Structure 1
């Protein structure tokens, strides 16, 4: 029988502030590129972590949802919620755009999900606002 892949998505929420700025540019260049986002501001983010895998015969699960939630909370949410993104350890040295945030979250989660939960990270999707949504599928996609 052919193995079937199932995708599972967990939604988490966090609030954080940031400043969009490139330290290698002049203040004028930063203002021209980032506009009002050069000022400190915040968002109430909605983050969707999608994993994929085969359904285990023993449990009927792709992975344990409770464990998935714990891993995301400890690895990501506890580090981001009510923080200044420009100073979060895994965001240091990067422009704190939501594009870079998606990639950084992927980098933080990919190996731990494989090793601890035996599932593969498929997508990191972050809603910065209801109109601005960012997705990252890793380098292979």
Structure 2
């Protein structure tokens, strides 16, 4: 019986360690944005408009056995989270590319609400999710 518990524990540990480590801090929420609402994704080199309100941040790390943590997967997850909190700007603050130490893109991202037209901002293009 002990062996069964131990194997169950190892299996659950293995399953939980396959996901990327995601940390977030959200200071303010607005209404959920509809799927057709435009969300701008700004690269590190792009500036956030001066009058945009910061709503929080999210960071993507690596647990050592992470999967589904490439550049565009992380951005897609960040855009989905932005939609949930009412943010229409996703600003990439820092990106660390995969290396020998980690197979994942590690990213720090901030969320902003902007009352202007986000389609006029320089941005990365992703497919709808």
TM over 0.5: no
Larger strand proportion of the pair: 1
Q: Normalization by structure 2: what TM-score?
A: 0.30
User: Higher relative contact order at CA 8 Å, sep ≥6: structure 1 or structure 2?
Assistant: 2
Larger helix proportion of the pair: 1
